[in-house]
Structure 1
């Protein structure tokens, strides 16, 4: 029986690596799949992992209709056994429902990968719908670590080196109109609540050492 499976974890937990490995394993058994992504770090129409792996993919945008994409593949004589959906948190709830329909009505396996919450600790709409509809939700066992060594559970956004908890849910960096330096970091809940990133903790430690030297 086909399934809709949602693999989730914080940043740095190996989601894209697992997505590529899963695609490789299924393709090696003669199954035909399609890989989708949105806003990958490597640019449009790419799935990349922090380990250096990278493959071509189909870029999802607001107009993407997964049901129509698969139908078009079939009209061209290409049977689709499964789809891999990376960065699925950026998909719309309607697109997640399209994926569920592919599972239920066409018996296509759907493997979705993504984080659940944003830098504000709020659920992404796509992830929320996946949690509601998935046959299974798998939390990745590779633990990301906060700078303090505890298990990281939250994704933090920094703008020009300062952690922020307000702003647009999705920010695409490196644009001509935006000269800010936007970065992301994983933190434990304690340090996310305190807005204490690795850089701010380092600065605090340096101030403490300076005060000891003055004393």
Structure 2
């Protein structure tokens, strides 16, 4: 009987705070328990470089990815000391499209299972390049099932960036900060250190962070209107099928 190749690329996406890093570490633990050997990758983790960490206290050492890191060379080096069965990538939105293609090559040519976790869209509700490429080529795409709620109780899918306790629509795509209460005004010229808040589409568009706040001017959101495709039902594309700073 002809053997079916086992390598695949799976992309699990969702807004900040939905448990992506926790799920990544759970999958890693399950793989290790079965005697499998893997490589863990991350970028801009909340706890600092070279580690995947979750808000519930789980963590594991990982290789810090940079824009110029060749993931094919990383896997070549890892394979020199033993077979590599899987790769877990947290904060996959920060990968370059070329690095995503390198992971797909590893799945196809080396039969490595690739598990990627990330946010789909940035604080402007535009797809990250790494996430966009994963949506294009992953074998399986699935939203993380832990639902994050906006302050109003609706599902939160938009990662709003805050400066001085107010939503901002301008600035560089990547600014590393965590979620939490709006920050108090600080010494920087924008009025405070950056933070993020997960909001529903209605209140992301209105710029409202709570029930007592007036609506701000709505942004132009002609691009993706949520953190990735609206796949609240079954996974798409076969058997299984967002940015902000970081989240897990």
User: Which residue pairs with 1:135 in the alignment?
Assistant: 139
Q: Which has the higher contact order (CA 8 A, sep 6+)?
A: 2
| CA-CA distance at 1:136 after TM superposition | 0.5
Select which of 75, 83, 97 maps to 1:93. 97
Larger-gyration structure (1/2): 1
1:158 aligns with 2:162: yes
Select which of 37, 42, 51 maps to 1:37. 42
Q: Runs of at least 4 residues of structure 1 off by over 3 A?
A: 201-204
Tell me how far apart the structure 1 counterparts of residues 87 and 119 of structure 2 sit (CA, whole Å).
Answer: 18
Give the secondary-structure state (helix, strand or coil) at the position aligned to 1:181: coil
Give the secondary-structure state (helix, strand or coil) at the position aligned to 2:198: strand
User: Which residue pairs with 1:212 in the alignment?
Assistant: none
| CA-CA distance at 1:171 after TM superposition | 1.1
* Unmatched segments (≥5 aa) in structure 1: 205-215
- After superposition, residues 57-76 of structure 1 pair within 5 angstroms as 57-75=62-80
Compute the TM-score of the two structures, normalised by the length of structure 2.
0.77
| Cα separation, partners in 2 of 1:173 and 1:14, compared to 1, 3 Å | closer
User: Which residue pairs with 2:241 in the alignment?
Assistant: none
More helix by share: 1
Tell me how far apart the structure 2 counterparts of residues 141 and 172 of structure 1 sit (CA, whole Å).
Answer: 24
Compute the TM-score of the two structures, normalised by the length of structure 1.
0.88
Give the secondary-structure state (helix, strand or coil) at the position aligned to 2:161: strand
* Unmatched segments (≥5 aa) in structure 2: 1-5, 179-186, 215-248
Do the aligned residues in 1 keep the contact of 2:39 with 2:84 (CA within 8 Å)?
Answer: yes
Q: How many residues align?
A: 198
Tell me how far apart the structure 2 counterparts of residues 153 and 74 of structure 1 sit (CA, whole Å).
Answer: 38
Tell me how far apart the structure 1 counterparts of residues 64 and 126 of structure 2 sit (CA, whole Å).
Answer: 24
Tell me how far apart the structure 2 counterparts of residues 66 and 60 of structure 1 sit (CA, whole Å).
Answer: 9
| CA-CA distance at 1:62 after TM superposition | 1.0
Per-residue CA distance 1:35-80 (angstroms, 9 max, x = gap): 10001111111111111111111100012111100101122x2211
